[in-house]
Chains A and B, each alone.
Chain A
Amino acid sequence: MTEMKTAITLGNASLKKKLNAIEGPFAYEETAYHLPVAYALTGRPVHTAQEAIEVYNLTDENPFVACESVLAFSEQGPGREPAPYTGFIGDAVLRKLGYSLVDGSILGLALVIGTPGNSDTASRICRELQEKYMLTFLAGDVVPSLSSASVKLGLEYRLIPLGSTSIHGVHFVDIITRVALMFGGVVPGDPGRLLAYANQRAKAIAIVFPGLDNEGIALVDALRLLGIPILSLGGYEGGEWTTTLPQDAVREGMERKGIKVTVTAIPIPMSCSPAFEGKSIRKEEMYVEFGGGRSPAFELLRVKPASEVTDGLIRVMGPEIESVKEGSAVPLGIIVDVAGKSMRKDFEPVLERRIHNFVNYGEGSWHVAQRDLIWVRISKDAVKNGIKIEHIGKLIATKFRIDFPDLLDAVQVTMVTDLQAVLAGKKEAEGIYEERDRRIQGMKDTDVDLFYSCTLCQTFAPNHVCIITPERPALCGAISWLDGKIAYEISPSGANQPVEKGVVIDRDKGEFEGVNRFVKKASHGEVERCSLYSIMEYPMTCCGCFECIALMLPEVNGIMVVNREYKGDTPSGMSFSTLAGTIGGGAQTPGFAGISKNYILSDRFLQDEGGIERLVWLPSLVKEELKERLVKKLNELGHPDLFEKIADETKATTLEELVAFLDEVQHPALAMKPLL
């Protein structure tokens, strides 16, 4: 065991000594960046021993500066190490490497250094790095170790042997530095920006075998400042390196720097594409089915700590397809465990819904409904082609990785077909569904600081901005607050953006400073103010996709709602389509608002106008659709009789009929504060 603290001190002292021993002028070849680290940190081009020492002192005896000065001096001309060693890498090659990094054909950079105990471990690690599109640099004893195991080295193999000593590892640093200068807009002499770039943007890791000399330890330890995770495979005591096992080192390092391998192919013997989404599998085409009332079945997606999820692991608990009789119904539990740094518990239901699409993407697999109501079939053709239950799990896992590359780091799927296990799992899942429902239903606008915007419709309603809150879904009814939130997480520059509420301007009207600011900007300056809970003053703009239109009827002091499907006349004298034509297109029309059906049930519905008691007319179809929940809500509000007092087209299609009806039933709106 090497004690780190002592080693670093000794290493730095030794580097200083070497630095003091160099003399005369020197330079790296084929670079415009002089000694790159020294140049980036101080802006000073170093070409003599004197300048090197000055910069070394200026940078608080930075070990990188010492290493690069020593190497630039010793490797001049005949001092250059023979092949396979590359030594310092010139700008032209570097530009290509940088290109590959931006381009995505290289995902990141790795330094592998130290003295591997056996060459198998070293070559395994290097192979894993190759497979994960990392460009790997090698310095010191690791090079002969790999050569002895006949590992091919060189740029074309993405394994670059920098030099024979540990301090050749500094070339790894001068490469990161020059990438920052060439691609990152970092200016020489601005160490702050260099460090910020290295920490935030450079995708680099270091893997250290035991047996590094003191100079190497000092050099590698300094990488921590650049935000490079150092994965030690043991042999070092104290210090702040992460000790890990050889089989975990690459994955851990990449996870720590957020380097992700993109998955594109689904390795199963069945075509998978959205093109097959609508394909159904008829009974006579089916080999096996699950759920749908024929057998117990459920699906559940859970977020788990990274340590509990093995990416790509698919397990089948219970009988596989071979032991299933053709035409039978089998129990099924689909359990998807996911891990990801930005994954959160409240995303679970939204992601879980995707299982439905993914299974349907399979040419011979079919899926309907959700949760414990699912119904899944696999076709005879698919089974003939070799599809197993395991493959459905693979399909799900892989599609999640493809569709949510930034959100999910690991996905594992368990397909349960054992009856007892399914029953037990289902019971547990039902508990989770209930808990989720409670959480979402209970969510109030006051519980959150962020709302979400939706500007999807700006293609045809240029200045329209939808603001989506927990209690007010998008006016199209298709996007809830949670959907907006997850859409933002997945695509941070997309059409759903977080909107800070900011200071409350008017609690009843639902006017917020932050919302106003956002709406003004997103509407290109056209809309200055927006009240979320009022239709009379500065209501939200309307795109054209609204499920319903709410509008005030001054004559009865109330508000009516009409839905898109309702084709007849309304008491306002205008049909839905006439109204839609007048208020759509992104305009703000006081007295009118586009709303979703579910918003009618919200506590924030018409809050400023007095709530649901203002509702005087609603087509019977919607009334019927919402009946159960609406009645429940009205009971809670202490208006058990209000449901019957809300007119529909069977009671009134003209204003006169409506007035008569409302008078007769003594609708509360008549006695409320005047709307105008």
Chain B
Amino acid sequence: MTLIDLANPTKFLSLTTRVLPWLAVATAILLLVGFYQAAMAPDDYQQGATVKIMFVHVPNAWLSMFVWGVMSVAALGTLVWRHPLADVAAKAAAPIGAAFTFLALVTGALWGRPMWGTYWEWDARLTSVLILFLMYLGLMALWRAVDDPSRAARAAAILTLVGALNLPIIKFSVDWWNTLHQPASVMRMGGPSLDNAFLIPLLVMAVGFTLLFVTLHLAAMRNEILRRRVRSLQMMQASQQAA
């Protein structure tokens, strides 16, 4: 099966139906292993048990950006190649990405309460993720504002690409703004010097969550294709009744 065959929704549907159970099982196994390892991981000498929040926070934060990347690729597919599945992929990804972004925000706040003493700190990273969340919501509002799917797809594709161009600028300006207003009050994670006891569960969780996204995304794409089929059948029914 080549990429061209996937452009056919029916072929895509049959492939999805075959692949989805395996993906779901793999996701479940990875997430269970990751959860077990996260539970067994030692406490951090500074952060104590709250370091365990990082095992779910970091994968969600990673996915919040990864999903926008996926949508940007889909947007190129919509605008440049007019690929029939690209619209579907972009639309299906938006709510899932918004959910992951929301989780990144909330787990970040829950980590911040014991560590910073407040749920919400106008920390540069939290703030950028908040703006990303607002942009996801705007994109979803755009999808919901128009009932013609292909028209909405092209508008959403342009917004997605403009957003992808703007996100680094927003990140940079928020960083700058943050250092201006509260210099270095924020405790930082260890960065690349992270100990293996933390790194391995984190990696397992990150891969597990990414697979979870792929699974959910494929399932949501399948729903979207069926929804379009329903729509076109309803239109045919309406035109038959009119005739």
Bind each other:
no
Binding site for B on A (CB under 8 A): none
